[in-house]
Amino acid sequence: MNRGFAYRERIQAPAGVLEHLARSRRHSTEAQWRERIERGELELDGRPVLPGTLMAPGQELVWRRPPWDEPEADTSWRLLYQDDLLLAAAKPRGLPTLPGGGFLETTLLALVRARFPEASPMHRLGRETSGIVLFSRTPAAGARIQAAWRERRIVKAYRALASGVAREDSLVITAPIGPVAHPWLGTLFAASPSGKPARSEARVLERRADATLFEVLIETGRPHQIRIHLAFAGHPLVGDPLYAAGGLPRPDLPALPGDGGYFLHAERLAFPHPATGARVELRDPPPAELLTGTEPGAAPSAP
């Protein structure tokens, strides 16, 4: 059980407390929010509220969530690289990078900061994505890494197991990614003509009986970009419960972004060092399921 957490929000428009929570935080029902209010878990500018309390713009609403049991996850992260300015961690599949979805202290961020309190993540991987996560150890180093990301001087390469046998040896996917309607979350990132530009380059590493192993390089870092782009190209990740061919959420299976079942691994990361500008290249070997048949340690049979 963790220590609980205070979720803070600055109110933007007039509304009743219960009405606002039921509309904007749809992970819980109106009845559940009413119970929390009645237990005294909600405060407005430091004072307890009632379900009908009216809020004004600029006020601070706080939900003091009591301690809860977090879902179990693999916490066996590894240190891949370390110097005075940066460190890189190998994140296991199933461990969130940052708090969210019921996870607070069982995260890569919390585990890394237990050893390196100054560490700040420069990017994130989805919970079910394994591989390299880069952290800065000083604000100046973090600013330089973020600038290199904006200037697209950082290379990120993934391995992904996708459904179907690809006809072409390589694909360039440029479908924009943005929010679309979702029955539980309100909106969810997916392929959308009104979304932000995104670009992925996928290269076939191995064709299997009913699947394709891709190496994917991404120039942009939109949420769930590889899952969405390969699905848009007609090759959803094998076992992905969320995205279907076309890059939209599956209509036939209720699923959330953190739900697993697929294999996606951040294998390589290359970037200019923030102090010297010298190129740093890191690699985290992929799991057996994402190795080709000619690589040592490959799975004995294709899924």
Q: Give percent helix, percent strand, percent coil of the chain, each to the nearest 5.
A: 15, 35, 50
Which pLDDT tens digit goes with each residue over 181-237?
877 677 889 999 999 999 999 999 999 999 999 999 998 889 999 999 999 999 999
CATH architecture, domain 78-290: 2-Layer Sandwich (3.30)
Give the containing element (helix H, strand E) for 269.
Answer: strand 264-272
85 touches 136 (CB < 8 A): yes
**How large is the average pLDDT for residues 148-154?**
94
pTM of the model: 0.85
The whole-angstrom separation of Cα 225 and Cα 193 is: 14
Residue 168 reports pLDDT greater than 80:
yes
Residue 300 reports pLDDT greater than 70:
no
**How large is the average pLDDT for residues 6-16?**
96
The boundaries of every CATH 3.10.290.10 domain in the chain are 5-65
CATH of domain 5-65: 3.10.290.10
Which pLDDT score, from 0 to 100, does residue 26 have?
A: 81
pLDDT-derived band of residue 254, with 50, 70 and 90 as boundaries?
Answer: low
The boundaries of every CATH 3.30.2350.10 domain in the chain are 78-290
- Within 10 angstroms of residue 78's Cβ, the number of other Cβ atoms is 10
